Amino acid sequence: MMIYKLSTGDEVHRYDKSIVIPFKGERKVVSSGPLNGGYREDLKYVFNNDSNPGAGIACTMKGETYEEHMMITATELGLDGEFASGLCTAASMDNVSIKEEEFEDVKVTAIVTGGIDVNGGRAGDPASYVERNKKISKLKLGTINIILVIDADLAEGTMVRSVVTATEAKTAAITELMAGSMYSRGLATGSGTDGIIVVSNPSSDNKLTDAGKHSKLGELIGLSVKSAVKEALFLQTELSPKYQHSFLKRMKRFKVDEDILWEKYKNICIHKKAQLDLTKAEFINSVHKIERNNRLVTLTSLYAHLIDELDWELLSKEEVSLECINILNEICSNFDLESPLSGHAKLNINDEDSKDQIISKLIDKFILIITLVAGVKRDV
């Protein structure tokens, strides 16, 4: 069915787990898609396809290569694959976000689907697959896909610049949500399989040459993409400021979860030669009772950012260690718990410790304090 009509006259249709835009006239297209990617002026369609076969079922390629897969997909959608370019994702097309921004006679529309809970990553993270001669040994789909339609006539270089601006806007949206990478302790900058298609209208009398952040066009691209990315992520996985208001969510990228806390709780009891006061179910329930405590989330956010500052070498290990201990003591105070930490020496930091070793110690101390807090029977 048609779900949106663009200012160019083109219609956005959703069918067969896809978003399809047939062009009403000539269009300039820059696509990162494997099928007819790059800069083209002869395309008749662009599309975004959900290749997820269902919950718990692995995505499989329909051809020998990603390009062949997309050609087969285009044909199944009733399109002439020679004149189509598309993107692939595991996100549902029912969760598409369409956001339009305009100024005077310029309209920019971002059509976005996305999910980074499985495939979120940070530029420079360890790779998850290797490609040789167009064949990919492993492909993991999460993906933020952007189709950006600009109702103006853009020069070729300007279209490429619009990809840069849109990518920065996508990353801004993700970092504002403090979404973590699944492959490192860093904040995500996208997913490992993100795609983008930019469409401009050569029939427009308005010819533009700049899509950078200082230009009005750049502003419109930034606003529409950032807004659409945030809404698409919310619709797909409920990622939002409210969802992220949790000490578990803030520390997930540091591998802090219920199971890690439970193991720490058991080890503490064994070390003290004491019986477990709480069963695993009771302990995890206690963790979730404090998970969204306002003060705890605030202090955890500061703690995580201090680790980032050390990781980025913006603060020294001495500065970060001292303030992290202060935060852990404050967490204890907030829950009327006597802190087992008293001063910098309790981290057992040595001059020869590497940055990774110090960060590991900081994470271990956080796990210790949260375990002690959660291990107390309470009604909150």
Range of the domain at 364: 247-374
Q: Which residue, among 182, 170, 169, has the nearest Cα to 144 in the 3D structure?
A: 170
End-to-end CA distance of the chain: 49
Q: Do 219 and 290 belong to one domain?
A: no
The residue with tokens 């167009």 is 134
- Residue 137 has a pLDDT of 46
- Residue 380 has a pLDDT of 43
Q: Which of 95-99, 257-261, 267-271 comes out lowest in average pLDDT?
A: 267-271
Residue 321 belongs to some domain of the structure: yes
- Residue 123 has a pLDDT of 62
Q: Do 78 and 116 belong to one domain?
A: yes
Q: Do 300 and 263 belong to one domain?
A: yes
Q: Do 91 and 203 belong to one domain?
A: yes
- Mean pLDDT over all residues of the chain? 90
- Residue 226 has a pLDDT of 97
3-class SS string, 40-80: ECCCCEEEEEECCCCCCCCCCCCCCCHHHHHHHHHHHCCCC
Percent of the chain with pLDDT over 90: 77
Q: From CA 244, how far away is CA 247, in angstroms rounded?
A: 8
Q: Do 255 and 284 belong to one domain?
A: yes
Residue 380 belongs to some domain of the structure: no
- Of 185, 209, 239, the one marking the end of a domain is 239
Q: Do 33 and 153 belong to one domain?
A: yes
Q: From CA 65, how far away is CA 139, in angstroms rounded?
A: 11
Q: Do 209 and 314 belong to one domain?
A: no
CATH of the domain at 87: 3.60.70
Question: Is pLDDT above 60 for 320?
Answer: yes
pTM of the model: 0.89
Residue 113 belongs to some domain of the structure: yes
- Residue 276 has a pLDDT of 81
Residue 149 belongs to some domain of the structure: yes
User: Rounded to the nearest 10 degrees, what angle do helices 280-290 and 355-374 cross at?
Assistant: 100
Q: Do 223 and 328 belong to one domain?
A: no
Q: From CA 346, how far away is CA 147, in angstroms rounded?
A: 52
- Residue 274 has a pLDDT of 72
Q: Do 233 and 287 belong to one domain?
A: no
Take residue 216 and report the two structure tokens written for it: 């009005």
Question: Is pLDDT above 70 for 127?
Answer: no
Q: What is the pLDDT of residues 78-120, one digit of tens each?
A: 999 999 999 999 899 999 999 999 999 999 999 999 987 656 6
- Residue 136 has a pLDDT of 53
Cα–Cα distances (Å) from 231 to 111, 149, 163, 330, in that order, read 11, 18, 20, 35
Q: Tell me which DSSP letter residue 269 carries.
A: H
Q: Do 119 and 159 belong to one domain?
A: yes
Q: From CA 8, how far away is CA 48, in angstroms rounded?
A: 19
Q: Do 279 and 142 belong to one domain?
A: no
- Residue 128 has a pLDDT of 54
Residue 379 belongs to some domain of the structure: no
Q: Give the total number of structural domains in the chain.
A: 2
Q: Do 76 and 157 belong to one domain?
A: yes
- Of 219, 239, 259, the one marking the end of a domain is 239
